[in-house]
Structure formats: C-alpha cells, structure tokens
Amino acid sequence: MSHALAELLAEGPPTKEAIDRFASAHDIPLVDRDGVTFLYRGEAEQVFLRLFISGLPAAQPLERVVGSELWLLRFALPAESRFEYKFEVQRGGSTEWITDPLNPNCAADPFGANSVCQGFGYLPPEWTLPDEGARAGSFDEFALDARGLGRRAVRLYLPARLRRTRRYPLLVLHDGSDYVRYAQLKVVLDNLIHRLEIPPLIVALTDSPNRLNEYVGLDAHADFLVRELIPAVGARVPLDPDSSARGAMGASLGGVAALHAAWRHPGTFGRLLLQSGSFAFTDIGENKRGPVFEPVVRFVNAFRANPGRPAERIYVSCGIYESLIYENRSLVPLLTQNRIQVRYEEARDGHNWQNWRDRLRAGLTYLFPGPLWMVYE
Amino acid sequence: MAPTIARMRDYAVLGPQFHAPNLSSCLAALGIAGPLVAVTAGWQEREGEIEELREHVKLPVTDLQLYARAEQVYAADPALARAARERQERLQEMQDFYRMRLMALMGALAELDAQEGSSATLRRARRGALGDVRRLDRTHVAATRAEHDRFARDWRASPRAALEAHVEVLERAIAGARAILVAGGHVAVLLNRLRLFGFEALARGKPLIAWSAGAMALSDRVVLFHDRPPQGAAHAEILEPGLGLMPGIVALPHGHVRLALEDPQRVRQFARRFAPARCLVLEHGSSLRWHGGRLAAARDVRRLARSGQPVEYDT
C-alpha cells in the first residue's frame, strides 16, 4: 500500500469528503514501482475491475474499506506497463460497466472508451504529440468500385511539400480511419517525416464496412488492394514502383488482411507492418476462437505450411498482455527461416489503439528509414 | 592546411534558417547589399524554391540550379554519368565497411569508458581506443579523398562539353554576385553537385554564407551525427572530406535535437574525437563570421568542450 493511502486509512474509515480530497490530490490509480492500486468511491454491493490482460482474471473484485464508501484493489504491475480497464459496479440489482470516475485518462476505440492505467515509468511518446513546427501533410479522398466488394472510399495521406516530379513510397493501411482517430496517425506521420525519420510517403487509408468478412483472408479483398487500389492511387500521385517502397499494414484482423494480401501477391509489398495480428492457427484439433476465426485459421494454417516470401522486411509487434501473444511469437521464427528480415517487438500493453500508436515509430522507421543521417536543413 | 583563399575570404556560418532566419542580419554585418547567388542543390527536387529567402533578404537572388544542371550534364554525357554512378557505388561500399569497423572501435571505447576506476593503465587504454577511432576516421577521409581525386583526374582533366557549358554560365552568374549563399538539405547530394561543377574554383574569393548542410559541405570533413536515431547505432561518422572552404570547424546544425548535449561523456568524446577542429552547435539564430581569415563575430554558438559541456563560443 502506498504511503499516502496508508495515511488516509490510518485514522479509521475515511469520510466521503476525505476520499474526494485524496482523489483530487493524487493521480488515480495509484502507481508505484511495484504495482498499482485502484480506488472506487460510491455505494455498491460489489465492484469489479474489468480488465483486458491475458493471464489475469477478467474480473477482479475490489474490497470495501469497512465503514466507508471506498473500494480498493492492488496488484503487482511490471514497470512501463499500460493497459485499459473499466469498473463493473453492481448496485440495486443492476450491473453497470463504467470508466473510472477518478481517472480522467481515457482511451477511445470504436466501441467507446476505456480508462487507462499507465504503470510506473510509462510515458506517452513525445512524437505522438502535435508539433507546431512540423509541416502538416493533408488528406485527399476518392472513391472506387471494388470488384466484388462494392464502392469504397479511400483517403490518401499526402506529405507536406508533395512534388509531382518525385516518386513516393506507398503504405496501404487497413482500418485507416481508426488509425487516424485513435492512434494519432496523421500527427505521427507529420512528425516522423518532419524529423526525417521516415521519407515523405503516401498512405492509402482503407476501411471496410465488413472487416469480419474481408479482413480474414478473403482473396477478393487482397485482389482489390493490388489490382484496383494501388493503380488508382498511382493514377493520382507518383509512386515509386520498387517493392521496397511499398508496404501494407494493419492491426488485429487488419494485420491478417495485410499479410494475406502480401502472401497472395508476392513481390507487390516489400514491407509489412503487422500489429497484434490475429494470426490464429491450429497445429492439431479444432479452432477454439469461434466461427469468425474459421477463415483466419484456414489462411494462417495454409500460410504456415507454405509461407513463401510475402515481403523482404516485416515489422511485427504485439502486447504481452494480449491473448494473441502466442500466435505472434510463433510467427517470427517462421518468417526468419524464410530469409525475411524481421523486427519483432513486445510491449507491456494490450490489444488496443494506444499500443499500436506507441509502436508506429519503431515500425515505420524500420520499414521506411528516412534520410535522417544525410539531411540537415 | 587550408588554402590561402579560404583563410582570407569573408565567410559566415549560420544555424538553420527554417524558422526565424538571420541571414539578412548576417548580410548586413558583412556589408553585402548587392545581388546574390544561391546553391540550394541540397533541397533536391525543391531546388530553386527561394521565394521566402528572397523576401527575407530583400535582395535579388539567383539560384544556381546545380541539382538540375547536374541532371542535364549526366543526360548529355552518359559516360560521365556512368563513371559518377560507379564512383558513388564505391563510396557507398567504403562507407558501409568504414561503419562496420567504426562500430567495433566505438564498442571498445564504450566498454573502456564503462570500466570503473582511474588507473594510469585504464586511462592509457581509453586514450588508445580513442586514437584507434581517430585513425580510422583519418583513413576513411584519405580513402574517400583519393576516390574523388581519382575521379577528377580521370574524368575532369580534359574538358567535357556538356559540363563546361554549365560552368561558363555559372562563372558569369557568380561574377555578378556580391556573395554566394549555400543552403542546407541533403549533404551528400549537395557536396556531389558542388564537386561536379568545381565549386572551389567557381567561388574564388567571393564571400560565402552557408548554413546547415551547406556549412557541413564547405568544412574540412563532413561529420554525420545523431545521438538518438530511431534505428541503428548512434555513432557519428565521417562521410568524406568537405571542400575545406570553411576550415577548422565541425558544423553541428540542430545540435539540441540531434545530440545528447546533457551527456558529458558523449560531449567529451565528440570533442576529443574531432579535435583540433572546433565542434560548433548551430541553432536557429546562431551566426559566425570570419573576416580576413580571423573569426570576427560569434553569436548564439556553443562549442563542444573537452570538459564534457557545451560552452559559449566567442571571439
């Protein structure tokens, strides 16, 4: 227990006012070198910490300080961890999942928002913050009719100072809108390009209205990217035709879609950035992740049997607290055995957008190294 | 030994000019109020986009278009283009091998620096390790210089029509200018173009004002540096000799971003490795002016000192 919390409890059950004073004077949850303490204040029959860490129970009960409205839970947490959570509050026969009222730090995702716990030593990377000095890129939009998939809106990230006389690398991104909304993609691209850590590049941001069908190893989706999307982008902006200047990227099922497209069309994408890919497979027996994963397992099993060389260089990352850590770790030796240059990174984080945001610099600079050593403006 | 002309001409080194440029005040201090020519080849495809520069200095400025001219020369003289490409490939290979050797030597230096104690034996070993690095740097400078000399001997000894036509145009343009500005950008591209057109001869005694990569290209040795790159080792490395028109300095633009100035060990090592050259951190607002071969003024410039601290550099 932290010294401050021990002081709060030293004189018996704290009053409502004392708890509020304490909460406003400290960052909640309380984080120290060894662990984290969660606090909840309020009347309830039971309060659970709902967290998304593989290896820990999904629901952990907070313990009420007798005679008070204060609920506590403490557990050990390795330094530099970061994860997202909610409280489940049971009161008057109803159950409610809420973000932590005492913690203003929330992360948004397509399903809403979660509270964020930043372990000891974790700091959001400074390159994810807007830099007024960085020249801002822009977005351009167009739509095309994808064969077998329907009409698709595509957003292009165009780097600042785009020149028609120059040919640019292209990165095809799955769940592009979510990357912009939840992982600060545009800020990161602007900053890394400005700092010369990556070259000015074009990013084609795609979204799918039906990712559970299209991002699971669907041939039509891979064909759309290669035969329709890339030529359409190339008609709008000058692209470097070399495969080393062409990448595909995605997180979760988006990672599956990126790997599948590169595998189905070898020689197209020289670079792959795969974040927490849902690379479910079976060595023997049935898929236990549910019917959505049936096509994923079919593709990943086929890939594992015959990986070929989908790209020359691949960056793979995964959160240690994700259930997918086993699948991602298993992917790495398979890739390296096939003469693919691989950079693999793990972080003490979960399956979420801020984890993917925090790995963008390492991934992008590995795949598309910028002219940092040569350019001094 | 720097050429006499370099020691006698007026020249100035500035920090980055992207934000809050101080070029116009430097020109005023040098008493230059006439037309200027500019080298922006380091900007590559953005070469010649000097509207902001013109507005800032409020003087006529002509871009010498060295980047574009080089493309024209190579298109008109395929044999020269092929030879230049082959030279660049050899230089790249030399750089790769130099970097491999440098990694090993810098690793040894770091290990010795990490040893506790201050015995005479340890101090001697550290000096020796640093000496190994300096020797490798010298070897690399000599080897790359020889490569450039060989190219000049083989390919520039007799006139090459496409090239000479541009050189004549450049001579006329420079003759009508009061000073030459050399902007930053891609230092290897810039230096490559300066060499191709024989910039040392073209510049003659004209005052030179250079910033960022421009200052690096005109110094004795081009030192590439970044203490916190996102990938790879953070060892400063020498690219090749510069043109030596601004002798005795190692220009370090954006030093506060690129260098771990708060780390005395790194600062000390950097200063000692490149001594006796003065390693000068150049930020926005920095300026150094030489007049008649003597440093006449220094403003907002810090020198990496052997004490491990960046110290204010003045006359």
- Over residues B62-84, the pLDDT tens digits come to 999 999 999 999 999 999 999 99
What residue has token string 């230059």?
Answer: B32
- Provide the sign of the torsion angle of the four alpha carbons B231, B232, B234, B238, taken in this order: negative
Domain that holds residue A260: 126-367
pLDDT score recorded for residue A317: 98
Residue B295, both tokens: 């440093």
Beta strand B221-224 with B237-241: parallel, antiparallel or unpaired?
Answer: antiparallel
Supply the CATH number for residue A67's domain: 2.60.40.10
pLDDT score recorded for residue B3: 46
CA dihedral A148, A307, A302, A205 (to 10 degrees): -30
Interatomic CA distance for residues A360 and A207, integer angstroms: 19
Across B255-274, average pLDDT: 95
The whole-chain average pLDDT of chain B stands at 94
This model of the complex carries an ipTM of 0.95
Say which of B45, B46, B216 has its CB closest to residue A376.
Answer: B216
Instruction: Tell me the CATH architecture of domain B4-83+163-312.
Output: 3-Layer(aba) Sandwich (3.40)
Interatomic CA distance for residues B33 and B56, integer angstroms: 13
Asked if A375 and B186 come within 8 Å (Cβ–Cβ), the reply is yes
Say which of A133, A163, A377 has its CB closest to residue B212.
Answer: A377
Across B158-167, average pLDDT: 94
Asked if A376 and B187 come within 8 Å (Cβ–Cβ), the reply is yes
Q: Answer yes or no: are the C-beta atoms of B277 and B221 closer than 8 Å.
A: yes
Across B301-309, average pLDDT: 96
Final residue in a domain of this structure, among A84, A118, A152: A118
Number of domains comprising chain A: 2
Q: Is A14 helix (H, G, I), strand (E, B) or coil?
A: coil
pLDDT score recorded for residue B1: 40
Say which of A197, A361, A377 has its CB closest to residue B184.
Answer: A377
Q: Kindly list the residues from chain B whose CB atom is less than 8 angstroms away from the CB atom of residue A365.
A: 230-231
Q: What is the CA radius of gyration of chain A?
A: 23
Final residue in a domain of this structure, among A74, A102, A118: A118
- DSSP letters, chain B, are ---HHHHHS-EEEE---SSS--HHHHHHHHT--S-EEEE-GGGGGGTT--HHHHHHHTS-EEE--HHHHHHHHHHH-HHHHHHHHHHHHHHHHHHHHHHHHHHHHHHHHHHHHHS----HHHHHHHHHHHHHHHHHHHHHHHHHHHHHHHHIIIIISS--HHHHHHHHHHHHHHHT-SEEEE--EEHHHHHHHHHHTTHHHHHTT--EEEETHHHHHHSSEEEE--SS-SSS----EEEEE---SSTTEEEEETHHHHS-TT-HHHHHHHHHHHTTSEEEEEEEEEEEEEETTEEEEEEEEEEE-TTSSEEE---
Q: What is the pLDDT of residues A114-158, one digit of tens each?
A: 999 999 999 999 999 999 989 999 999 999 999 999 999 999 999
Q: Kindly list the residues from chain A whose CB atom is less than 8 angstroms away from the CB atom of residue B46.
A: 161, 163
Helices (H), A121-200: 176-183, 185-194
Across B32-60, average pLDDT: 96
Asked if B230 and A197 come within 8 Å (Cβ–Cβ), the reply is yes
What residue has token string 């250079």?
Answer: B210
Q: Is A6 helix (H, G, I), strand (E, B) or coil?
A: helix
Asked if B18 and A377 come within 8 Å (Cβ–Cβ), the reply is yes
Count CB-CB contacts under 10 A for residue B176.
12
pLDDT score recorded for residue B7: 53
pLDDT score recorded for residue B5: 46
Which residues pair with residue B253 across a beta bridge? B282
For residues A27 and A88, membership in a common domain is answered with: yes
For residues A47 and A131, membership in a common domain is answered with: no
For residues A197 and A84, membership in a common domain is answered with: no
Residue A374 lies in a domain: no
Which residues pair with residue A375 across a beta bridge? B186
**CA-based nearest residue to A228, from A300, A312, A143:** A143
Which of B231, B256, B257 to mutate: most A Cβ within 10 Å? B231
Beta strand A271-275 with A246-251: parallel, antiparallel or unpaired?
Answer: parallel
For residues A196 and A321, membership in a common domain is answered with: yes
pLDDT score recorded for residue B2: 44
Asked if B224 and A366 come within 8 Å (Cβ–Cβ), the reply is no
Backbone angles phi, psi at A200, to 5 degrees: -55, 125
For residues A102 and A205, membership in a common domain is answered with: no
For residues A77 and A190, membership in a common domain is answered with: no
Asked if B184 and A376 come within 8 Å (Cβ–Cβ), the reply is yes
Q: What is the distance in angstroms between the CA of the first residue and the CA of the last residue of chain B?
A: 21
Chain A positions with Cβ closer than 8 Å to B: 133, 161, 163, 165-166, 195, 197, 361-362, 365-366, 369, 371-377
Final residue in a domain of this structure, among A66, A94, A118: A118
By CB atoms closer than 10 A (0-12, 13-18, 19+), residue B75 is exposed
CA dihedral A329, A334, A340, A343 (to 10 degrees): 10
| Min Cα–Cα distance to chain B from A295, Å | 36
Interatomic CA distance for residues A256 and A294, integer angstroms: 13
For residues A212 and A254, membership in a common domain is answered with: yes
Residue A134 lies in a domain: yes
Q: Answer yes or no: are the C-beta atoms of A74 and A117 closer than 8 Å.
A: no
Asked if B185 and A197 come within 8 Å (Cβ–Cβ), the reply is no
Asked if A371 and B186 come within 8 Å (Cβ–Cβ), the reply is yes
For residues A313 and A218, membership in a common domain is answered with: yes
Residues of chain A with pLDDT under 50: none
Q: Is A315 helix (H, G, I), strand (E, B) or coil?
A: strand
Inform me whether the C-beta atom of residue B222 falls under 8 Å from chain A C-beta atoms.
Answer: no
What residue has token string 């190579």?
Answer: B74
For residues A162 and A96, membership in a common domain is answered with: no
Say which of B19, B231, B257 has its CB closest to residue A365.
Answer: B231
| Min Cα–Cα distance to chain B from A273, Å | 16
Q: Answer yes or no: are the C-beta atoms of A29 and A15 closer than 8 Å.
A: no
Q: What is the CA radius of gyration of chain B?
A: 20
Residue A141, both tokens: 């939009």
Q: How many CA atoms lie within 13 A of B315 on its CB side?
A: 12
Distances (CA, A) of B201 to B45, B105, B174, B194, B195: 25, 37, 11, 10, 10
pLDDT score recorded for residue B62: 98
Residue A376 lies in a domain: no
For residues A33 and A141, membership in a common domain is answered with: no
Q: What is the pLDDT of residues A161-203, one digit of tens each?
A: 998 888 999 999 999 999 999 999 999 999 999 999 999 999 9
Interatomic CA distance for residues A245 and A230, integer angstroms: 12
**CA-based nearest residue to B225, from B281, B175, B181:** B281
**CA-based nearest residue to B65, from B49, B85, B86, B84:** B49
Q: Is A375 helix (H, G, I), strand (E, B) or coil?
A: strand
Q: How many helices (H) and strands (E) does chain A have?
A: 12, 19
Residue A46 lies in a domain: yes
Q: What is the distance in angstroms between the CA of the first residue and the CA of the last residue of chain A?
A: 52
Asked if A362 and B230 come within 8 Å (Cβ–Cβ), the reply is yes
pLDDT score recorded for residue B233: 76
Residue A41, both tokens: 């204040």
Inform me whether the C-beta atom of residue B228 falls under 8 Å from chain A C-beta atoms.
Answer: no
Q: Kindly list the residues from chain A whose CB atom is less than 8 angstroms away from the CB atom of residue B19.
A: 133
Per-position b or e across A135-144, b if 16+ CB within 10 A of its CB: eebeeeeeee
Residues 6+ apart with CB under 8 A from A185: A157, A173, A176, A179, A203, A205, A357, A360
Residue A373 lies in a domain: no
What residue has token string 């594992």?
Answer: A304
Backbone angles phi, psi at B150, to 5 degrees: -65, -40
Count CB-CB contacts under 10 A for residue A269.
29
Rounded (10°) angle between helices B120-151 and B78-114: 180
For residues A156 and A185, membership in a common domain is answered with: yes
Q: Kindly list the residues from chain A whose CB atom is less than 8 angstroms away from the CB atom of residue B226.
A: 372-373
Interatomic CA distance for residues A49 and A56, integer angstroms: 11
Q: Answer yes or no: are the C-beta atoms of B165 and B76 closer than 8 Å.
A: no
CA dihedral A8, A10, A13, A15 (to 10 degrees): -40
For residues A258 and A298, membership in a common domain is answered with: yes
Which residues pair with residue A49 across a beta bridge? A60, A87
Element (H, E) at A170: strand A170-173
pLDDT at B8 over 90: no
Element (H, E) at A51: strand A46-51
Say which of A163, A361, A374 has its CB closest to residue B187.
Answer: A374
Interatomic CA distance for residues A328 and A346, integer angstroms: 10
Asked if B231 and A376 come within 8 Å (Cβ–Cβ), the reply is no
Interatomic CA distance for residues A234 and A240, integer angstroms: 9
Interatomic CA distance for residues A58 and A321, integer angstroms: 12
Q: Kindly list the residues from chain A whose CB atom is less than 8 angstroms away from the CB atom of residue B14.
A: none
